Structure formats: C-alpha cells, structure tokens
Structure 1
Amino acid sequence: MDRIPEQALAWAEAGQPVALATVVETWGSAPRRAGAQLVVAGDGTMMGSVSGGCVEGAVVIEALEALEDGKTRLLEYGVSDGDAFAVGLACGGTIKVLVEPVRPDALSVELLSDLVAARAAREAVAYEVALDGSARRLVSEGHTDRFRRDRSGVDEDTGRFIAIHNPPLRLVIVGAVHIAQHLVGMAREAGFDPVVVDPREAFGSPARFPDCKLMNDWPDAALREIGLDARSAVVLLTHDPKLDDPALHVALGSEAFYIGALGSTRTQASRLARLEEAGLDQDQAARIHGPVGLNIGAASPAEIAVSILAEMIQTLRRP
C-alpha cells in the first residue's frame, strides 16, 4: 500500500504547503494506472509518481504553481510513439492528472485526515472529486464494482473522479519455515502486509523474521484475532494437521480471497478427507489451493515462494 496520503498529511501538519497530483484517466500505454499519486511539498520535495518518467517534472512545476494561486488543475499530457521516451510515457500514451492543493477551500486537511484514518482502520473508502475542484467527499457505500476490482477512474454518469482506497493487502503465513522467510520479503515488495503465525517460538523468532509481525499463538486463535477479510490471503506451510486444520476451518469461514496449503497431491487428498469428516462441504474445501502455488516446476524454497506469490496475484487479479 502506498503512503502518499499519509505523507501529504504529515507534511501539511508540519506546516509545509502541500499539493497532491493524481492520475485520473489514461489512454494507450501510460505506465501508471488511474489513482497513482505524487505528493509535492512547497520546497519541491516529492514522493510517489504519476508516470514513472519525465512527466513528473512538469507536474511538480504545476503543483508548485497551484500552491501559489490555490487553484485545482486538470493537466493532460499526450505524446506520439516517436516522442514517448522523451517525456517518460512508454510507447506513447495520454494521461490526465488532477493537481489539488491542500488548503481549506480545496482538499482540506480535515478531509485528508479522515481519509488517512479510514486507511489506518482498514476501511474501504472512495474519494469523490469533481474535476474542476468544486466538490469533494469521502464515501464508503456505492461503487461496488470499483471496490471489487480495486479500480479508480472517472464516473461516466457524474463526471467525477472516484479514487478507490481499499485496505492494504494482507498475507497471513501459518508456519515460520524456510519458504516463509523468502515469501515474506517477496510479498512485501508486491504490496502485501505479511504476518507470520507459529506457536513454536524457535521457528517464529525475530531473528528469523526481522521487521515482520510475528504471532506465537495457535493458528486458529491468531486468525480470529487478526480478522480475515476480502483483502486477506492465507498460506499454510506447517505440513502439520494439528496446526493446519484448525487454521483452515477459520480461513474457510472467512472472506479471504486466497487460501493455500503446502503439500503433495496425496497430502491434499488426505486434507480434504479430514475436512469432509469434520463437516465441511465440497464447495468450501474447493477454495483451498493445494498443492499451493502455480505449477512452474519450483524446487527450492525461494522458487516455491515465487510460485505461491504468483498464484496469489493471479487469484486476486483474475478471479
């Protein structure tokens, strides 16, 4: 999850003039999708990107001018394939960027603070803004399809830009094994917030998993405490039914978008038989990806972690 709204609020609360630039529409092969943001402080410091290239320089200039006159700007940049490289747009493309100064008569600190608070509380919210900057609000209802697809964009009916702020993706790994050590870093780079659960403190230790949230608790209890939602993935790596099966019961009763379990085809068959005996129907059990990961011939722990992360992303983006 990007930290652009959080950075904008921090700078504003520290007394810095701040402007937010947001991609609202794209055509062709623009490298950043709608919703991508760049925050610019009054001293020219910036964070984030709207194109991944030299368009940032032009946007920063416009943002600094917006801080001078207090006006919202809708910018459009379009280039041919021949000129694309010079302005940072791969193979040509067009983007529209909305620049909003953070000030009482534009994007207020109060509204920005409400957005940041909702993100911190894992609440899905949409920021609606008129492209001329005349109206803004946060809503938590409506835009069902946009929330499901995690897709910001201009609403054809109202002409307003809808910025979707879904809770950050979360990965709960049950089993602090070697594969998990690789998967944590890879998942974090892909935008997941990883949590490792293992009651065995020798496995789930800070030395083995630095800078990662650890829970040395029984998996079913830990999963209930975490509270799985539709932005959560669960991967079971213990290979131990005493740990995996109780966790599966909790995960299968949740809205987690991905549930994967390590083991061979034979292990998966035994797992499904145990779940059936425990009263779970076949439709519930069918949600388990087992053997876990895409079949890419992975052999090493790192390669298996790649296959797991790839399957998680495929399940999320191509349901």
Structure 2
Amino acid sequence: MDLALLEALNAERAARRATVLVTELGSGRQRLVRPSDVEGDPLAAPLAEAFRTGKSALVEEGNERVFLTAQVPSPRLVITGAVHISQALAPMAALADFSVTIIDPRTAFATAERFPGVDIRAEWPEVALPALRLDPHTALVALTHDPKIDDPALAAALAAGCFYVGALGSRKTHANRLERLAGRGHAPDQLARIHAPIGLDIGSVSPAEIAVAILGEVIADLRRKPLRRERAA
C-alpha cells in the first residue's frame, strides 16, 4: 500500500471516521473513499452498502474485480440516567455490539452493582462528555427526566452530529424541552432530530419493553441513514 494512503487510512481510523478502501485486484490500484465521495462514484451502490453495514465485499466493475475494505467505527451508545430502563437497555445494546456508557451524577444510582460490566461515569454530562468525544457513530439516549442532566447531553449530541438522539418523556415534556434547548441556540432543524417520545411505537409498558423499543429505533437509524449523518457532521 502507498505510504500516503496508509497514513490517510490510519488518520481516518484514529478520528473514528468511516472510509472504504477500494482495491482493483487486477491492477493493484487503490483509493480511499469517504462518505461524502460516494455520490457520483461508479461504485456508488456497493460503496453505500459497505458504509451502511460496515461489511467488506468483493464486487464486479465491468471486467474488473474490486475489493471494498470497509472501515466503519463500531457504534457507541451513551445513556444519561442510571435508571431501570438503562438496566435493561445496557446489556441488550452490548449484545448488539454497541459500546455502552452510562452517565449519571447521582452516585446512589450509578453503581457497578446495578450495572455490572458497564462503563459508568458518576459525573455531570458537562464533565463526562468531553472525554467521550461524541461523534456521528454515537447514539445518545436521555432517560433521567431531569433537565439538569438530560439537556446538556442532548445539546452536546446535537452539536456532535450523533446519528441518533432520543429522550424519554411525554409530548408535553418534550415541548418544554424543545423550548429550553431553543434557548440554548439550537435551530428548529436540529431539534427535529430528537426522537421523543423515545422508541418505536410497539405499545411498550415495562422498562424492558421500553428498552427494546429504544434499541430498535437506534438500530433503525444506524442502518437506514449511513451517509447523511456524516455529511452533516
């Protein structure tokens, strides 16, 4: 591999940005494709699929066989609120190959005993989030009902271009939330990205059922809109 191409590939990996390395098997020529480059590329359809799934693939381009090496960062789920829904959601998300972090400054709730094996940050979002470096491959779910905890996290997720942003609460609660976030300077098109009421409408009742609805909606956004979110980031 050309040294400059390798350096570019490693830089994108370090920054958690998705790329696809295109290798022409006959000639050995290689090029690096980013999500913003896909439209108009002769391999647009298979490239889009590689970005969507994160799976490498062998494809045909005329008489040429081409290998697409997908480098898509693993998805992360950041949850504000060490609550009952989080206790069900965290292990479900881990089974779906999400890296999970829970943020809650309430030390009585954010404990390893309640969340074994989970990255727990018993801190305020303003303290915890800068170190996590939210990005377009991260989903953020706000579950505390406490504006002092949820609002800063939602604002940070919108600013970072997280692929999914959701918040627990009724429509009335969400209307008040939108008013507060608008006061922080967020535009209507940004605020429209927040899923609220959160989760797929499957008639969820219990914390576990709500967790299923949330995870289903997160995965739907992850797999349905792979390119649009990076262009906006």
Specify the TM-score bucket, using the shorter chain as the normaliser: 0.7 to 0.9
The match for 2:20 is 126
Tell me, yes or no, if the aligned pair for 1:199 and 1:217 is still in contact at 8 Å. yes
One-letter amino acid of the counterpart of residue 122, structure 1: R
Q: Distance in 2 between matches of 1:136 and 1:206?
A: 50
User: CA shift at 1:208, angstroms?
Assistant: 0.9
1:301 pairs with 2:195: no
User: CA shift at 1:227, angstroms?
Assistant: 0.9
Q: Distance in 2 between matches of 1:245 and 1:226?
A: 17
Deviation per residue, 1:25-80 (Å, 9 max, x gap): xxxxxxxxxxxxxxxxxxxxxxxxxxxxxxxxxxxxxxxxxxxxxxxxxxxxxxxx
**Alignment partner of 1:163: what SS?**
strand
Q: Distance in 2 between matches of 1:124 and 1:136?
A: 20
One-letter amino acid of the counterpart of residue 52, structure 2: R
The match for 1:236 is 142
Tell me, yes or no, if the aligned pair for 2:19 and 2:51 is still in contact at 8 Å. no
Q: In the alignment, which of 73, 94, 103 is matched to residue 167 of structure 1?
A: 73
Structure (1 or 2) with the larger CA radius of gyration: 1
Q: Distance in 2 between matches of 1:137 and 1:201?
A: 51
1:206 pairs with 2:112: yes
Tell me, yes or no, if the aligned pair for 2:80 and 2:142 is still in contact at 8 Å. yes
1:261 pairs with 2:155: no
Bigger fraction of residues in strand = 1
Alignment size in residue pairs: 208
User: CA shift at 1:278, angstroms?
Assistant: 2.9
1:156 pairs with 2:79: no
Q: In the alignment, which of 133, 144, 151 is matched to residue 245 of structure 1?
A: 151
Q: In the alignment, which of 102, 110, 115 is matched to residue 196 of structure 1?
A: 102
Tell me, yes or no, if the aligned pair for 1:115 and 1:138 is still in contact at 8 Å. no
- Give the share of equivalent positions with the same residue, in percent: 48
The match for 1:311 is 217
The match for 1:187 is 93
Q: Distance in 2 between matches of 1:126 and 1:276?
A: 37
Tell me, yes or no, if the aligned pair for 1:127 and 1:136 is still in contact at 8 Å. no
One-letter amino acid of the counterpart of residue 76, structure 2: R
Gap runs ≥5 in structure 2: 2-7, 39-46, 226-233
The match for 2:229 is none
Q: Which structure exhibits the higher relative contact order, with contacts defined as CA atoms closer than 8 Å and separated by 6 or more residues?
A: 2
Cα distance, 1:179–1:219 mapped onto 2, change above 3 Å: same
**Alignment partner of 2:145: what SS?**
coil
Q: How does 1:77-88 map to 2 (within 5 A)?
A: none
One-letter amino acid of the counterpart of residue 295, structure 1: D
**Alignment partner of 2:20: what SS?**
strand
Q: Distance in 2 between matches of 1:119 and 1:254?
A: 17
Give me the TM-score of the superposition, normalised by structure 1.
0.58
Give me the TM-score of the superposition, normalised by structure 2.
0.77
Tell me, yes or no, if the aligned pair for 1:125 and 1:138 is still in contact at 8 Å. no
One-letter amino acid of the counterpart of residue 163, structure 2: F
**Aligned residues: CA RMSD:** 2.9
Tell me, yes or no, if the aligned pair for 2:136 and 2:161 is still in contact at 8 Å. yes
Bigger fraction of residues in helix = 2
Q: Distance in 1 between matches of 2:161 and 2:143?
A: 20
Tell me, yes or no, if the aligned pair for 1:223 and 1:251 is still in contact at 8 Å. no
User: CA shift at 1:115, angstroms?
Assistant: 8.4
**Alignment partner of 2:61: what SS?**
coil
Deviation per residue, 1:108-134 (Å, 9 max, x gap): xxxxxx9899767735343444546x7
One-letter amino acid of the counterpart of residue 66, structure 2: R
Deviation per residue, 1:175-199 (Å, 9 max, x gap): 1111001101111111211111111
One-letter amino acid of the counterpart of residue 167, structure 2: A
Q: In the alignment, which of 191, 196, 207 is matched to residue 290 of structure 1?
A: 196
Q: How does 1:50-89 map to 2 (within 5 A)?
A: none
Q: Distance in 2 between matches of 1:205 and 1:225?
A: 20
